[in-house]
Structure 1
Amino acid sequence: MTQHTDPPPWVADGSWRARATEALSSISEAVCFLDAEYRYTWVNDAAERLLERPAAELVGQVLWTQFPDRPGAPWQQSVRRARSTRSTQHLEFFHEPLDRWFEVRAYPVLDDLVLFFRDVHERRTLDEERAAESSLIRGVLNALPARTAILSDDGTILTTNTAWAQAATTAGRPGASRAGDDYLAACRALAATGDPDAQRAVEGLEAVLERRAPSFSLDYSPPTAGTWWHLQAFPVDGGPGAVVTHTDITDRVRAEQRAAWQARHDHLTELPNRAALHETITGALTEDGGPVTVLYLDVDGFKQVNDSLGHSTGDLLLQELAARLSQRTRTSDVVGRLGGDEFVVVARDCDAPAGEVLAQRFRAVFDEPFELAGTRLSLTASIGTATSDPAHTGPEDLLRDADAAMYAAKSDGRDQHLHFTPTLRTALEDRRQVVTHLQGAAALDQLTVRWQPVVHLPSGTVTGCEALLRWEHPHRGWLEPAEFIPVAEETGMIVPITRWLLRTAIAQAEAWQADGHDLAVAVNVSAVHLSSGTLVDDVRQALAGRDLDPGDLVLELTETALARDPEHAVAQFCELRTHGVRIALDDFGAGYSSLAAVASLPADVLKVDRALVAGPLPAAATAPEALLGAVAALGAALDMAVLAEGVETAAQLELARRVGCTYAQGHHLSPPVTGDRLGALLTEGRRKTGQQRLP
């Protein structure tokens, strides 16, 4: 700073020094006088303290030599300029030798200079720290992606970051404000229009500004913007006011909405899934008051579609079916998919007769063939319905009963509709009890085995027997296989039961052989066990450590089970044969397997179904004999021994011999008996005939 002044008269007459030294000696500011050569001529006490030198050392010394600095230092230039321009100079400078900031004012007085010094190091340091802090805060604010503003304690915007400033032109929300605007007033104005989000924002901001709440947050969506924002406010730490941020959460909210939708819908058909259906049924039961009918639909033969045409075609079928079902429902009905080929319709205000009409409408969906990937499919469905009554306390009850009715419809021949009744409920409860008791039957020694002998027709000797399961139910007495095996297959319990049966059969065969009876044992294998993938390992483990020759173990698979997945069955039985186990194809003639599938099965025995053996045989009839003979010839052509099962009469036994069957079994030869009884019969037969025969 430069200032020109005219000296007063007392300066011109030279008396100024005496006056100045008297006035300046005791002031707190450092003062020194310099002559024309920049030598100290006088310093006051404050200058001695500031410069850390006594006056005696300074007076007579040149300023530059006492306090050297780099050539051309700003303060030196300022002092020289004061003399050369005869003007007052004022500046602040950092003096490196003393490592401090100083303020200096230089006044020319005739040929002399008067210098005023003041240590401003602390002030300059504080100013720099504040500037750095302010710059840091500004940098942090501008780096924040969220729109951020700092408010005063009355809600006025003090400052904003770059993101806020760029959005300041956006209209329609309180965030569209600039520094100096009353943000809280803008929120109040918007709340006055009836905007509930703005009202909540006002209440939350007031609580934060008044220190009644440690923070406030709100997710909101502007009415027409189609975006979502997260508003957050919290007090300024250690001072008045608050920090307010608006973060764009549109992507997050849409992702959450998408995830929530996906959690309640089937991804393939986009229909409501089980969770959503449960909510719908619960709401219908508790809110509507009227009857609710649930329809449970299962596509007949869907597995064959998947197996023969591939899962992609199966998926197309499910999508087309979902569309057709949705088109046949009433406005208030909800169509959903539980999984696989199972669909559910929830019909509000729908009693049992109306449910019957609705079920027939859905059955009609299948009247038109499905055109899928160039393939024309004609399909049917089994439908079960259940209508709410006091016994239904929740969605699980209705779904369970509708499922039971559907299962009964499918068991009744498919392409049927059945409505759930108390009779079905009783049957369902019986089935549930069967399942519960069956789980512990083997462990509780309730399962037992009966053995039906297999007779070698050319010699008449007994060469083996079939293991037939029996169950001594704790309440219902002895149960035949047909009463519990289907339940065991449906629940998967057939696998552990078969493992138990394998161990039991092998142990019994070893016991017979120890008594001199050379018998093979046959065990039936379920298609469920084949599908489990554990059959080979289960058989190997059952034989491990036993004395029985694997060739004395025969595994029987029904023709129907073979037809379900012939490739899988053939692969497993081929592996079992490498371990010496023999294979029998059971119930041949009752199923629908192709001759190619039969020929590919590595079977040793072809068991003819009892229906071919026990058919009526009038004296003039030759068709049954021709049919049975054809099967026997097929067995011979495939190098399989043929066994006639279900032989009930002497005539049937004679027929089996005549057409060339190798083996036979049935009640005419022997009913199923206990292991001890069969051993006793063979002992008696050997005593009478000298051979392993039945007496």
Structure 2
Amino acid sequence: MLTAHYDSLLVLISLLVAILASYTALDMAGRINSATARGSMLWLAGGAVAMGIGIWSMHFIGMLSFNLPIPLGYDISITVLSLVIAIVASGFALWRISQAELPLLQLIGSAIFMGIAIAAMHYTGMAAMRMTPGIEYDPWLFALSILIAISASGAALWIAFRLRTNTPNVVRWRAMAAVVMGAAIIGMHYTGMAAANFPIGSVCSAAVEGVGPGWLAIVVIVTTLAVLAIALLTSVLDARLDSQTGKLVRSLALANQELTKQALQDNLTKLPNRTLLEDRLDQMVHKAVREQSRFALMFIDLDGFKAINDSLGHHIGDLLLIDVAKRIRDNIRAQDTAARLGGDEFVMLIEVNEPEDAASVADKLCTTLNQPFDIAQYNLGISASIGIAVYPEDGKTRHDLLVHADAAMYHTKSTGRNGYHFFEASMNINAHNQLQVIQDLRTALERKEFRLHYQPKFSTTDGVVVGAEALLRWQHPIRGIVAPADFISLAEKTGLIVPIGEWVLDEACRQMRKWYDEGYQQWKIAVNLSSVQFSNDNLVEMVKETLARNNLPATSLMLEVTESTAMHNVEASLTILEQLVSLGVEISIDDFGTGYSSLLYLKRLPATELKIDRGFIRDLAHGSDDASIVSAIVALGRSLNLRIVAEGVETEKQQEYLTTLGCDTLQGYFMGHPMASEQFMAAINALKAVQLNLHVPGTLGNSGLQSQH
């Protein structure tokens, strides 16, 4: 037999190629597993080519390292056939490990098929030498090489299947597995080579007609390494892209989760908001229908919150709401829901067996919220008005339950606050009446149902009329005259006060222009601004346009702003008031004494008049607390160079006492009732005639004329 020997460098290169091919195969398996259907097919095809070339080149380099004392060469067509076998075997292996499962029987069958295919590639490659006489194989080593091929294939398939997912430390495990797989493939190859025997006198027919081993070895090595490197680099880059995409997907998922949370959660209290409440309420209705059970909806409104919010500012109010939400949350079970609708309104959904269960929860909640709150440096006290609606007795839909609980809550407020009431049918009448009033308000402007009445204001020095306050009346086609107290709060709640307020200002300025032309240039028309109007961004421009439209001097208009409105946000109020004053309009601080003014801020307000609230005038008498308060307000006004107006004067004694205290202007039913413009001027003319004849100050009474002696 011819004595063979091996090129050690090429043997080492073949081992490195086998390990690199094994790692590439493992990495490709991971890419196939994580790719989409179309992408996995592309990775399967590319992987089969790269892995097949890798295995085949390892075999071919091993063949090139084999030397005999005769010239050697390789038949090109047979060599290419061995490459095709390697690619097919690789494609089958990658397809098998890309399946969802790899049972033991399928693993064994696949290992046998792949082992035989690799052995076929090896021995086909050997046949490419076209030896004459033919190669003689040792049967035991030949069988051993096939057994090694099958065992290596089985191990490779099992390892690749286990490492196809990107788990922690997968790169390290794949590298270790690649070394084992590479060594197994090399073992099969050189066992097969050891099985080959070449008789003395053998001739390699391909040495003349085929490809020589010299330069081919370099081409095969470089090409193979390039193919494997490109395949591996592509896989690594794609894996990084997938990783970045995964991070982006996770970031987007977290962002969507946060957006969903914000969309369903109240930002301040972190309780569910109205949207989530409605969903939970629908779920509880469905559950109650399915299980024939009950639950209660509790509508909670805080008593005294507005005064705290207006006097101490939104920051303290927000901190108070956060603490209130915490106390409410601490009083519910895991299966119940507490939500904030907005402002100081909260809702609770609780599962109950009997209505009395809801009563005990409401009673406990009232007690809890009655406890003082320590906010910043303040010790604050509030209470809660609660309305309760029980499913199914008080409503079977989300809308009915909310409306009825709201009606019960308003009933609690109207009967003393700080408590709870269950819904009753009579409460619904009031709720429907409110709804009807709101609907009628929406069309009242279009139907020209609003009227202005004018109440005169008298100077205390000579008793002459110095102007009038415009007071809104609603001439409802069915209800008749509707007092402001019955609709102003609803107009403010719905925002309808803004267009109504614009109409009031325009109508008052139109009437004042008429009086101005009749010679009453010294008069001022007073118009009230609600808190909603005052916070409207378009207020200053609207006033300016109204004055211009009616060609009325700004000095003829006085805007009345309540003390609590002016103090709600002092800095913003100062800006708005200064803009109004810059137009020439005068400012009156209305209902003075009922709010929580700071003298530091009060002296900064560009007002010209303080209007004492009628509540202090009603029980006015010498030596009373109200008298002391009024006296103090007059003194304060004098120190700030403000005119003092007292409203609500209903008796002669009140008139005399307020005049003695030093009030500049008086207004009230004793002096003159609110009247339509025509009646107002008739009464004014009659008063002037009496004053001219009797030379005494006068008042306008119910009949339009009432003289003082």
TM-score category (smaller protein) = 0.5 to 0.7
Q: Which residue of 1 aligns with 2:340?
A: 337
State whether structure 2 residue 481 is matched by structure 1 residue 478: yes
AA aligned opposite 1:179: L
More displaced stretch, 434-443 vs 587-596:
587-596
1:447-526 aligned at under 5 Å gives the runs 447-518=450-521, 519-526=523-530
Match of 1:540 among 540, 544, 547: 544
User: Which amino acid counterpart does residue 287 of structure 1 have in structure 2?
Assistant: K
The match for 1:415 among 404, 410, 418 is: 418
Aligned to 1:276: 276
1:264 aligns with 2:151: no
Aligned residues: 493
The alpha-carbon deviation at position 368 of structure 1 amounts to 4.4
1:140-160: CA deviation from partner (whole Å, max 9, x where unpaired): 989979724989xxxxx8775
Q: Is the 8 A contact 1:148 1:161 kept in 2?
A: no
8 Å contact from structure 1 (residues 384, 409) kept in 2: yes
- The CA deviation at 1:402 is 2.4
Determine if contact 2:311/2:595 at 8 Å carries over to the other structure: no
Say whether the 8 Å CA contact 2:305–2:317 is kept in structure 1: yes
Out of 570, 578, 583, the position equivalent to 2:582 is 578
The match for 2:160 is none
Quote the residue 2:362 is aligned against.
359
Offset at residue 467 of structure 1 (A): 0.7
Tell me, in whole angstroms, the C-alpha distance in 1 between the residues paired with 2:315 and 2:476: 45
Contact 1:625 1:655 in 2 (8 A): no
Residues 56-100 of structure 1 deviation map (CA, whole Å, 9 limit, x = unaligned): xxxxxxxxxxxxxxxxxxxxxxxxxxxxxxxxxxxxxxxxxxxxx
CA RMSD of superposed structures (Å): 4.2
Note if contact 1:159-1:179 (Cα within 8 Å) is conserved in structure 2.
no
Letter in 2 for 1:658: T
Is contact 1:149–1:161 with CA below 8 Å preserved after alignment?
no
Instruction: For residues 281-330 of structure 1, give each alpha carbon's deviation from its aligned partner in whole angstroms, at most 9, with x where no partner exists.
Output: 21222222222211223344556666777766655554544443333223
For residues 652-695 of structure 1, give each alpha carbon's deviation from its aligned partner in whole angstroms, at most 9, with x where no partner exists. Answer: 22222222222212222221111011122223344454599765
Summarize the alignment of residues 202-601 of structure 1 with structure 2, pairs less than 5 Å apart: 251=250, 260-288=260-288, 289-302=292-305, 317-371=320-374, 377-389=380-392, 392-410=395-413, 414-518=417-521, 519-601=523-605
CA shift for structure 1 position 391: 6.0
The CA distance in 2 between the partners of 1:457 and 1:408, in whole Å, is 43
Aligned mates of 1:407, 1:161 — CA distance in 2? 77
**Residue type matched to 2:562 in 1?**
T
Matched-pair contact (CA < 8 Å) for 1:615–1:624? yes
**What is the CA–CA distance in structure 2 between the aligned matches of 1:445 and 1:356, rounded to whole Å?**
47
How far the C-alpha of 1:583 sits from its partner, in A, is: 1.6
- Equivalent-residue separation in structure 1 for 2:415 and 2:47 (angstroms): 75
**Contact in 2 for aligned 1:298/1:406 (Cα 8 Å):** yes
Higher mean alpha-carbon deviation, 265-274 vs 550-559, is at 265-274
| Matching residue of 2:673 | 671
Q: CA deviation at 1:447?
A: 0.5
Letter in 2 for 1:436: Q
Measure how far apart 1:253 and its partner are.
5.7
**CA displacement 1:227-252 (0-9 Å, x = unmatched):** xxxxxxxxxxxxxxxxxx99886726
Aligned partner of 1:662 in structure 2 is 664
| 2:636 alignment partner, SS class | helix
2:609 aligns to what? 605
Shift of 1:616: 5.5
Distance in 2 (alpha carbons) for counterparts of 1:163 and 1:478: 93
Match of 1:18?
Answer: none
Is this contact kept in 2: 1:142–1:162, CA < 8 A?
no
Contact 1:148 1:163 in 2 (8 A): no
- Find the aligned partners of 1:432 and 1:301 in 2 and give their Cα distance: 25
C-alpha spacing 1:659/1:370, structure 2 compared with 1 (3 Å): closer
- The answer (yes or no) to whether the contact 2:331–2:365 under 8 Å persists in 1 is yes
SS in structure 2 at match of 1:179: helix
SS at match of 1:472: strand
* Aligned partner letter, 2:651: T
Instruction: Tell me the equivalent position of 2:34.
Output: 147
- Between stretches 385-394 and 257-266, larger displacement belongs to 257-266
Percent sequence identity over aligned pairs: 33
Separation (CA, whole Å) in 1 of partners of 2:513 and 2:36: 89
Q: Is the alpha carbon distance of 1:337 and 1:596 closer, same or farther for their aligned partners in structure 2, counting shifts above 3 Å? A: same
In the other structure, the counterpart of 2:141 is none
Please list the CA deviations of residues 531-584 of structure 1 after superposition, one character each: whole Å capped at 9, or x if unmatched.
223322221111014332211111112233334334433332222122111122
Structure 1 length-normalised TM: 0.62
Conserved? CA contact 1:457–1:663, under 8 Å = yes
| Residue of structure 1 in register with 2:101 after alignment | 186
Pick closer, same or farther for the CA change 1:673–1:161 going to 2, 3 Å: farther
Counterparts of residues 67-146 of structure 1 (less than 5 Å): none
Q: Is residue 648–residue 668 contact of structure 1 (8 Å, CA) maintained in 2?
A: yes
- Residue 444 of structure 1, CA deviation: 1.1
Q: Distance in 2 between matches of 1:540 and 1:408?
A: 42
CA gap 1:263/1:634 in 2 versus in 1, 3 angstroms: closer
Q: Does the CA-based 8 Å contact 2:302-2:344 persist in structure 1?
A: yes
SS of the counterpart of 1:186? coil
Q: Structure 2: how far apart are the matches of 1:680 and 1:163?
A: 108
Mapped to 1, the partners of 2:476 and 2:524 lie a distance apart of 29
Q: Counterparts of 1:374 and 1:663 in 2: how far apart (Å)?
A: 40
Q: Which of the two has greater strand per residue?
A: 1
**For residues 476 and 384 of structure 1, do their structure 2 counterparts lie closer, same or farther at Cα, with a shift above 3 Å needed?**
same
Determine the structure 2 residue equivalent to 1:234: none
- CA deviations 1:171-191 (Å, max 9, x no partner) are xxxxxx9525275572899xx
Contact 1:557 1:584 in 2 (8 A): yes
Deviations 1:174-230 (A, max 9, x none): xxx9525275572899xxxxxxxxxxxxxxxxxxxxxxxxxxxxxxxxxxx99xxxx
Q: 1:365 to 1:551 in 2, by over 3 A?
A: same
Quote the offset at 1:351 in angstroms: 4.0
Distance, in Å, in 1 between the alignment partners of 2:96 and 2:389 is: 65
1:394 maps to amino acid: T
**Matches of 2:314 and 2:670, distance apart in 1:** 48
User: Which structure is higher in helix share?
Assistant: 2
Q: Which amino acid aligns with 2:665?
A: Y
Shift of 1:516: 3.1
> Which residue is equivalent to 2:135?
none
SS of equivalent residue, structure 1 residue 521: strand
* SS at 2:474 equivalent: strand
Change (3 A) 1:149 1:384: closer
For residues 290 and 590 of structure 1, do their structure 2 counterparts lie closer, same or farther at Cα, with a shift above 3 Å needed?
A: same
Q: 1:61 aligns to what?
A: none
Contact 1:584/1:604, CA 8 A, preserved across alignment: yes
Q: Deviations over 1:432-485 (max 9, x none)?
A: 111111122122111101111111121221121111111112221111111111
Which string of whole-angstrom CA distances, capped at 9 and with x for unpartnered residues, describes residues 6-48 of structure 1? xxxxxxxxxxxxxxxxxxxxxxxxxxxxxxxxxxxxxxxxxxx
TM score, norm. by length of structure 2: 0.61
Structure 2 vs 1, CA of residues 382 and 596 (structure 1 numbering), >3 Å: closer, same or farther?
Answer: farther
Is the CA contact 2:531–2:565 (under 8 Å) kept in the aligned structure 1?
yes
- Contact 2:455-2:673 within 8 A present in 1 as well: yes
In the TM superposition, residue 608 of structure 1 has moved relative to its aligned partner by 2.3
> Structure 1's 280 and 570: CA in aligned 2 closer, same or farther, altered over 3 A?
same
